[in-house]
Structure formats: C-alpha cells, structure tokens
Amino acid sequence: METSKKELNKSVKFISDSAAKIAESIMKVFKGKSEVVELILTTLFAKGHVLLEDVPGTGKTVLAKSLAKSIDSTFSRIQCTPDLMPADVTGSSIFYPKTQEFQFRSGPIMSSMVLVDELNRATPRTQSALLEAMAEGQVSVDGNTYKLPEPFFLIATENPVESEGTFPLPEAQKDRFMMSLSIGYPDLENEAMIIESQRSIHHPIETIKPCITCEEILTCQNDIVDVHVDRGVLDYILQLVNTTRNDSLIKVGVSPRGAIALYKACQSYAAIHNRTYVVPDDVKTLVPYVFEKRIILNPDSLMKGYSNSEIIKRILDQQPVPNYSTK
C-alpha cells in the first residue's frame, strides 16, 4: 500500500511539473490569462475537449498553436463555413488510376491538436462528423474507420456576437465538450506587452520549442485516474448535478456524462496542483465551466433575465461543503 502511495505521489508530481512547463511555454506568447491556460491543461490531461466562446482576435489561435508547439505535436486549424463538407474535415478516398485503387487522404481532423474556428458556422452534417471524432476518437469514411492520433485534443470556438448564417450546436454536441471557456480581453498592461512583442519580423510563437512529448502527455492522462476522490466529495458532485435536474428555473439539467466530466476534471485539476486527492474547492472552481453549456433554462427564467452563470452560482452557494478524507 505504501509503495503504491509513493508511486502516486511520483506520478502526480510529474503531472504537476509537466503542466507547469507547458504553461510557462504558452505564457511566453499568450499573455495575462494564466487561469485560462490552467483550465485548458486541466481539460487536456482529463482527455476532454474545450469550447471557447469569444469574439475574433482574442488569442484563440495563438493559444492552440502555442499549446501544440509546446507538446511537439501536429496542429490543424479548420475554418468552418456553411459550405464546409464532412470530407473536408475527415478526409476522403481518392482514386489513383496508376494503381487502380482508392487511397485514403486524411483531413485536418487527423492531428493531435485541432482548432475548429466558428464551429456554429458549419452545417449540422459537418458538425456530426466532428461529434464522432470527439466522442469515439475515430472517423468513418466510405465505410472504413480510421483512428485519430493520441493524444487528441480539440478546441472549438464560437462567436457569441454574430448569429446570422450560423447553425446552433445541438445539445449532444455541447455535451461532448468537457468545459466551456471565455478568454476575454487582456488588461492594458498585458495588451501593451502583446503589442510590443509584435515588433519583431518573426511572430513570437516561432520561438516556442517543445518541452514535452505526446508520450508524456499520454502518461499524464493515464495517471490522472488514480487521483483519490473521497465519497464525501463524490456525493457533493452528485448533489450539485441532481440540483440542476430539480431546480424550477432549469428546463434541462446536467446529464450523467456531465457528472463524469466534472469528476475527471476535478482529478486532473488536483493533480496539476500537485495533490493526490480532490477537495471540494476543486469542484467549486470547475462547476461553472463544466455546467455552463449543459443546463437549459426555462422560458420564464429567461424572460426574468436569469443567466446560466447566475443559476449555477446560486446552486453552489446553497449547497453545503462536505467533510472529506484525503486517503
């Protein structure tokens, strides 16, 4: 038992050190948003995906590219438009006359790190192709199944301002994202640093060198599951989830998939903070990001001006913090 505890301490220390190295690398070019980077890494280590709701120009592409370069992995960007076809994302089989055979030519989804820009501009048909990739870690083309590389991490973005020419994401698609985040604008000091960093003829992102391998990321992802979650903390998670299902202001509450996402995210968050156990504060920190896109308010609630974030905060405030064990 003592040996396994030592091994867990060693694994968690490696996860924490790995997250710190990646964060330091990203923050060289992505200024002033350390909490966003921490949540992105939490999701990555928990084998989840992230939905970013933000206006253009706030650094979504820089964040995704710097993450990919820090991990020594492949990176693809998919710019969604209404005429984007599933084959443009997954790839397609092409006939070669010389060999008289069809050969599969992979699409941009076959990368370890994928940025899907303005996902809600893609048609539901194309969105469903992304849904399979996120849910199953594979794509189906012409009756054949192709596994995606590991690790596979997808960051999708939505523009919250423009709605014309968009296709709202179905609830099944939203539920596949572990977290929903917003980067927001930088403060004046960090924006000045960002502008000054552009004075070079080369983009600052070109200075980023890999600090960790894909194999090490996979090791972190596999070791996360050993982080201890006390029954008291698990009951706390379940109480929060159950409250969303029975709240009179909420039409649709958090699904079991959402509960699992919160559980795994808490394990990852604890490990990144060099802890072998989850505490209730981890849950309270992550609930707003995990629950945001998973609850649907009643029409009456919307008419009264309630927002998802307000309801989630009220639920957190009403739920008593449990006692827990670290063993």
CATH code (residue 278)? 1.10.8.80
Residue 249 pLDDT > 70: yes
Question: Which ranges of 77-153 would DSSP assign to H, the alpha helix?
Answer: 86-90, 124-136
Q: Are residues 20 and 76 in the same domain?
A: yes
Mark which of 200, 222, 244 sits at the end of a domain: 222
The pLDDT value recorded for residue 163 is 66
Of 259 and 206, more confident:
259
Query: What pLDDT is stored for residue 54 in this prediction?
Result: 80
Question: Residues 205, 304: one domain?
Answer: no
**Of 24-28, 165-169, 220-224, where does mean pLDDT reach its minimum?**
165-169
Task: Name the token pair of 259.
Answer: 């509960």
Specify the DSSP class assigned to residue 268: H
Report if residue 324 sits inside a domain. no
**Would residue 325 count as lying in a domain?**
no
Nearest to 155 by CA among 117, 111, 110, 115: 115
Domain boundary among 206, 222, 238: 222
Is the confidence at residue 3, as pLDDT, over 70?
no
Whether residues 68 and 155 share a domain: the answer is yes
**Shared-domain flag, residues 204 and 238:** no
Residue type, 66: S
**Residue 231, in any domain of the structure:** yes
Contact 91/141 with Cβ under 8 angstroms?
yes
Overall average pLDDT of the 299-314 stretch: 91
Q: Are residues 140 and 94 in the same domain?
A: yes
The predicted-structure confidence for 25-35, as pLDDT tens digits, reads as follows 998 888 878 89
Residues 6 or more apart from 158 whose CB is under 8 A from it? 51, 52, 53, 118, 119, 120, 169
| CATH number of the domain residue 131 falls in | 3.40.50.300
Same domain, 138 and 209: yes
| Of 49 and 140, more confident | 49
The verdict on 124 and 243 lying in the same domain is no
The pLDDT mean for the chain works out to 89
Q: Is residue 283 assigned to a domain?
A: yes
Query: Considering the domain boundaries, does residue 326 fall inside one?
Result: no
Tell me: do 137 and 28 sit in the same domain.
Answer: yes
Q: Within this chain, do residues 210 and 143 fall inside the same structural domain, yes or no?
A: yes
138 has a pLDDT exceeding 60: yes
Taking the C-alpha atoms of residue 36 and residue 62, their distance in angstroms, rounded to an integer, is 13
* 85-89: average pLDDT: 90
Print the domain residue range for 109.
2-222
Residue where a domain terminates, one of 204, 222, 240: 222
Residue 327 forms part of a structural domain? no
Judge if 129 and 186 occupy the same domain. Answer: yes
Q: Is the same domain home to 143 and 264?
A: no
pLDDT tens, position by position, 107-119: 999 999 999 988 8
Give the model's pLDDT for residue 162.
67
How many domains is the chain partitioned into structurally?
2
Same domain, 140 and 120: yes
Give the separation between CA 155 and CA 60, rounded to whole angstroms: 9
Mean pLDDT of 217-233: 95
Whole-angstrom distance between the N-terminal and C-terminal Cα of the chain? 11
Q: Which carries the bigger pLDDT value, residue 190 or residue 8? A: 8
